[in-house]
Each structure stands twice: as C-alpha cells, then as structure tokens.
Amino acid sequence: MRTLCRLLAAWLLPCVASVASATTPGFGVMVHYLPDKHSIADVARFDVEGFADSLAQMRASHLILTLGQNNGQYIAPNAALEKLCPQSAANRPPRDLPLEIGRALQARGIALVLYLPFRAPQSDAYLMDCLGDISEQQPPPAAFVGRWAAVIRDWSERYGTLAAGWWFDGVYNTRGMSAEGWNALCSAARSGNGKRWLAFNSGEGPDRFAAKAAPCQNLMAGEFMQPPARPAATSGMQAGLTFHVLTPLGESWGQPTSPRFTADQVRSWIAEANARGGLFTLDLPLDAGFRFLPSHLALIRSATAPRARPVASNAHHQP
C-alpha cells in the first residue's frame, strides 16, 4: 500500500516524518472559497494560520483550493490575466491568498492542489469576450486555449513547488482540441513543478468520476455525490490514473449543513482509497469568519484519529 508520503515524494514535496505522522495518508479537504466582486475586501480578513491549523487538526494530507469559478472573481492576482483583460484587474485582491495558504500548509506537511475551471468564467461577459471563449458546452476555440494557457502558466510558475497539483472543472466538451492546444494547457499546468497531479473533471457519478478527459491527466477527478462503499474505477486505473473520490460532507458543494456521513463511513472511504494507493477528499464549507463548521471538524477528527491497538496482558492465571 502506498502512503501519501510516497505519493508526495513523487511530486517533489518533502514529507517530514514528524509532520507526516500527524496527517492521515490519502485524506484531504476541498474548500469552495468563492468571494464575489462586492466582497473582495473580505480576502484581507482571511486567517491563514487559523485555517491551516484546522486542516492540521483534521489530519488532512492535502487541500484542494478554489482560485475562482464562474463569476470572474479570483482570490489572487494574475499578471497574464490583467494584461489580456485590463478591466478585470479591479476584481482581484492585492493579497496573494493561495501563496500564503501554500506556505502555511507546507510548514504542516499538507499538499496544496489548485482548483480552476477548464473554461473562462461563464458568468462574466467581459472576461468571456476578451479571452475569446464561448459556452463550456461547446468545444473551446483555439484562440481561447492559448490565452487560458497563459493565465494558468502565470499561477503555475508563481506557486511552483507549493502547488502539488491542479483540479480543472467543467471539462464537458473537448471535441476539436488539437495536440498543440493540449500541449499548451498541459505544459502550463506543469510549469514550475513538472510532476503535479492533474485532474480534469468531465462530470459526476459512477461513469465519469474516473474518466480520463485529458492526455496529461494522471489523477481521477473523483466527483461522486453518493459514493458507494467501494467505488469501481477500473477504466481510470487502467488508464494510469491515481484513484480519487471527491464528495461533499454537507448536502451539496460548499453547503453549511449537517454532515451526511458518519465518522465510520469516512474512515472506511479513506481506508479504501489508501488500499488503492489513492486519495479521498471531502468538500467542506467555511462560515463567514472563514472557519470550518464545528460539527464537520469534530466528525473528521474522530474519523482520522489513530485507532488504539489492543494491549496484550502480561498477567498469568494463578490456579
């Protein structure tokens, strides 16, 4: 059975024994922190150290962090994006939150995976136009692919070895993608760290969570709203993808509801992922103060707590 230390070593991340012993190999957290354009100032309030401490308390070994999604707001500056679309610069905070989070996680032996849609922000007309994109349900235009690769490369090089991977969402239509287009995107995603996890998500459920949607993909996207006890992923593993299951602990992605699962269920999924040399990730919401919900934190701490081993008695029966 491969431990996460071995996986991370393959991605050029140090795995210090004293730190790694406090993590649960293969278990990670996803966070949909997606401020809108009217709450950009809130990024300044984000308590990075408190956030990283909570992940350490949950014994997480990796974090998937959203840079942005479809509203045109990103939580970090990007020189390539500002050059291509100058009017969008006002929608980026001066604070580089992923850089700070990456450094805090590295100090705790936790890997950082960056989340970004495969396409331009679908709800921002200005960015869609200046990046040259169209509906994500249609094949991506070649001009857009080149521009988006430049944006990805800027973040990839900025975060370097702090970023252990990329998780690209919305890979719904890649018909007509040329080899040159894929090379541009894949090269950009590997820039700064050539051995990253690369996941491309083509959809949810038993038929798509393990699909290989890009030639450079090496990690299952894993999206599975109702994962069974033992998710079948034969096709993905045959394609050389690292096993991965990703599901929300609340009712849906980023929803602050009561946990859907028990600690025993979470523990069994982590064990299953480890048995396959892979990962299990829970999506968790943050409250208005950027803290994890107490009920979620408590459940996961229980699920990842080291199991006590029975101690053999040295007592002898006296006749």
Residue with tokens 């950027």: 290
Question: 104 and 60 in contact (C-beta within 8 Å)?
Answer: no
Between CA 216 and CA 218 the distance in angstroms is 6
**Amino acid identity at 92:** R
pLDDT beneath 50, residues of the chain: 1-21, 315-319
> Are residues 13 and 111 in contact, defined by beta-carbon separation less than 8 angstroms?
yes
For residues 199 and 186, the answer to whether their CB atoms sit within 8 Å is no
Distant-in-sequence, close-in-space partners of 29: CB < 8 Å, separation ≥ 6: 55, 58, 60, 62, 63, 64, 281, 282, 283, 284
Give the model's pLDDT for residue 6: 46
3: its two tokens = 């431990």
Inter-residue contact 193 to 11 (CB < 8 Å): yes
What is the structure's pLDDT at 311? Answer: 56
pLDDT of residue 236: 83
Residues 6+ apart with CB under 8 A from 96: 76, 77, 158
Residue 233: per-residue pLDDT: 87
The pair of three-digit structure tokens given for residue 99, joined into one six-digit string? 């850089």
CA 88/CA 74 separation, integer angstroms: 10
pLDDT score recorded for residue 303:
98
Predicted local confidence at residue 5, as pLDDT:
43
Number of Cβ atoms within 10 Å of the Cβ of 3: 16
CA 281 – CA 61 distance, rounded (Å): 10
* Structure tokens, 77: 């500056």
Strand ranges (DSSP E) for 5-144? 27-31, 62-66, 111-117
Question: From CA 68, how far away is CA 253, in angstroms rounded?
Answer: 14
Q: Are 232 and 46 in contact (CB under 8 A)?
A: no
